[in-house]
Amino acid sequence: MNRRASPVTRHPSRDDPIVCRCEEVTLSEVVRAIREGYDTLEELKRKLRVGMGPCQGRTCLPLLARILSRETGRPLDEVMEEISIRPPLIPTPFDLWRGR
Amino acid sequence: MKRSADVVIIGAGVTGAALAYELARRGIRDVLIFERKFPCSGASGRCGGGIRQQFTTPHNIRLAMEAVNRYETLSEELGVDIEFIQGGYLILAETEEEREAQRKAVALQNELGLPSRLLTPREAKEVLPLLDETTIVSATYCPTDAHANPFRVVEGYLARARERGVVLEKFTEVVDLEVKEGRIVKVRTSRGDVAPGTVVNAAGAWSREIARMAGVELPNQPIRHEIAITEPVEFFMDVMVISIHNGIYFSQTKEGQIIGGIGDPEEKPGYNISSSLGFLRRYARELLRYVPALGQLSVLRQWAGLYDVTPDAQPVLGPTPGLENFIQANGYSGHGFMIAPAVARHLADYIEKGIVSEILEKLSLERFKEEIRGEAFVVG
């Protein structure tokens, strides 16, 4: 079973950095989605796949929360509270879950 | 917020979104959708995305066949890539009794025009080369079954519906339905009241609570089902696999991830959607028994959602006896995503023209007064 190394398809600029590294989503894409009405972290996840890659949001969610807070004027704490945490948090193979 | 609407839809899952689009397309544009959280926050955004036609009751088979017909061209129609992969469904059986059930199911399906067929273990391995065929006694396969991405489907339906005037009010909870002289005259929400023409109950596992607000008792029960997704790997299977032996299902997304789950017959009705370690262990054990090669594949995350389960595992559709403007669109028992495009058509025919199709007649709430003969192949 070959793991898929995603090709580098994005060439972000200094003005439009990548926010979610796993799914290669840039700042401008996040801001555009928020302005289209995807204005909670859970909706952004579903729209852009941000936070749904191998890091499971550990890298990007704090960044996303800041962008969302800035764009909507809602307090950072309130934005952060809306995130649902989904186990196992660290990618873990089926062999281990099965046990022996 | 609007004070009135021709049609009020409760729930922005795939059913509510598909119906809103279908109505708007036909010129009924004064449609208001109330969603307690946000689109796809319930079962539609938590499901495995399977689109199966291999059922065991004529109505489930017919609805699913109509839905596949719509799904095949939905990406173009909505202008959104719904990641539709028509690689068929492979259904596994492990006992003689299950093989016999499969033989009967295929006979009924073929009679209704579905190209499903009974396979030997060796033939099943040709469909899925990584399958350990020694685990099964038979399988069935239908090449026109499929799977797709529910987020993209709902997003597409809502975008095209809203372009035509449909209004979505998210984070707006329906708190009461006021009934007068056999009609719902007011929908009370957390953000104000609306006078409805027609009210559609598409609230998934919460439909029972919504119906109660109007004094209607549904036989539906919420049952938790858990699911998990892996890291992406090279695309190796376009077929979706399920087993009637243990209720497992799994498929590979366009991104390359394996998404799947397994039902728990011990699960009690309730609104708990927490994730369990027991699920992950059982899913891993059964998945690796069928496809041992997946052992090194890592699970990225797990979650759960609620099936809205009826006593015969068939949906509750159409007008409510005694409440003429209250329409039920719930009780899918784990199959709502699969049939939504077809359900939307039947319900729009009723709302637009008053047509009660044979399907709506057979799947009406009234049927629970009679003897029940239900769907046998429920998985997940």
Contacts of B295 in chain A (CB under 8 A): 93-95, 98
pLDDT for res A100: 64
pLDDT surpasses 80 at A35 = yes
With an 8 Å Cβ cutoff, are B299 and A98 in contact?
no
Taking the Cβ of residue B298 and every Cβ of chain A, the question of whether any pair is shorter than 8 Å is answered with: yes
Radius of gyration of chain A (CA): 15
Q: How far is CA B13 from CA B9, B329, B348, in A?
A: 10, 11, 16
For helices B336-353 and B150-163, what crossing angle results, to 10°?
Answer: 20
Q: What is the pLDDT of residue B371?
A: 65
> Does the pLDDT value for residue A3 go beyond 70?
no
Of A6-10, A43-47, B155-159, B215-219, give the lowest mean pLDDT range: A6-10
What are the pLDDT digits (tens) for B123-145?
Answer: 999 999 999 999 999 999 999 99
Match 């062999």 to its residue by tokens: A95
Interface test with A, best of B229, B273, B300 (most A CBs within 10 A): B300
Of B151, B231, B284, the CB nearest to A97: B284
Domains of chain A and CATH, by start: 18-98 (1.10.10.1100)
> Which stretch of DSSP H or E encloses residue A78?
helix A76-81
B337: distance to nearest CA of chain A, Å? 16
pLDDT score of B378 more than 90: no
| DSSP-H helix ranges across chain B | 14-25, 58-71, 74-78, 96-111, 121-127, 150-163, 207-213, 277-290, 336-353, 358-362
Mean pLDDT value across chain A: 89
Could you tell me which chain B residue has the CA closest to the CA of A84? B303
Question: Encoding tokens for residue B371?
Answer: 């003897």
Instruction: Place A8 in a pLDDT band, splitting at 50, 70 and 90.
Output: low
Interface test with B, best of A2, A24, A49, A98 (most B CBs within 10 A): A98
Share of chain B above pLDDT 70, in %: 99
pLDDT of A14 strictly over 90: no
pLDDT at B333: 96
Q: Could you tell me which residues come within 8 angstroms of residue B259 by beta carbon, excluding any fewer than 6 positions away? A: B48, B49, B227, B228, B229, B230, B250, B251, B252, B253
Query: What pLDDT was estimated at residue B254?
Result: 92
Percent of chain B residues past pLDDT 90, beyond the cut: 96
Tell me the whole-structure pTM to 2 decimals: 0.95
Q: What is the mean pLDDT of residues B255-281?
A: 96
pLDDT of B69 reads: 98
CA B29 – CA B8 distance, rounded (Å): 11
ipTM value of the model? 0.90
Stretch B29-55: mean pLDDT: 97
pLDDT exceeds 70 at position A7: no
Residue B11: per-residue pLDDT = 98
Q: Distance between alpha carbon B335 and the CA centroid of its chain, in Å?
A: 3
Q: What is the pLDDT of residue A45?
A: 94
pLDDT of residue B350: 98
Inform me whether the C-beta atom of residue A99 falls under 8 Å from chain B C-beta atoms.
Answer: yes
What pLDDT is recorded for position B369? 84
Q: What is the mean pLDDT of residues B307-326?
A: 96
Q: How far apart are CA B253 and CA B48, in angstroms?
A: 10
Comparing CB atoms, the residue among A52, A86, A94 nearest residue B288 is A94
- Tell me what pLDDT residue B372 has: 64
Mean local confidence (pLDDT), B158-187: 98
Read off the pLDDT of residues B84-120 as tens digits, 9 standing for 90 and up.
Answer: 999 999 999 999 999 999 999 999 999 999 999 999 9
Q: What is the pLDDT of residue B71?
A: 98
Q: Tens digits of per-residue pLDDT, A49-95? A: 999 988 889 889 999 999 999 999 999 999 998 888 899 989 999 99
- Type of residue numbered B74: L
The domains located in chain B, with CATH, are 4-47+151-219+312-369 (3.50.50.60), 86-144+221-309 (3.30.9.10)
Q: Whole-angstrom Cα distance, residue A70 to residue A68?
A: 5
DSSP secondary structure, B89-150, as one string:
EEEEE-SHHHHHHHHHHHHHHHHTT---EEE-HHHHHHHSTT--GGG-SEEEEETT-EE--H
Per-residue pLDDT, B376: 79
Section B210-225 average pLDDT? 98
Looking at chain B, which residue has its C-alpha nearest residue A100? B285
Which chain A positions have a beta carbon within 8 Å of B275's beta carbon?
86-87
Residue A2's pLDDT is 67
| Rounded CA separation B120/B38 (Å) | 45
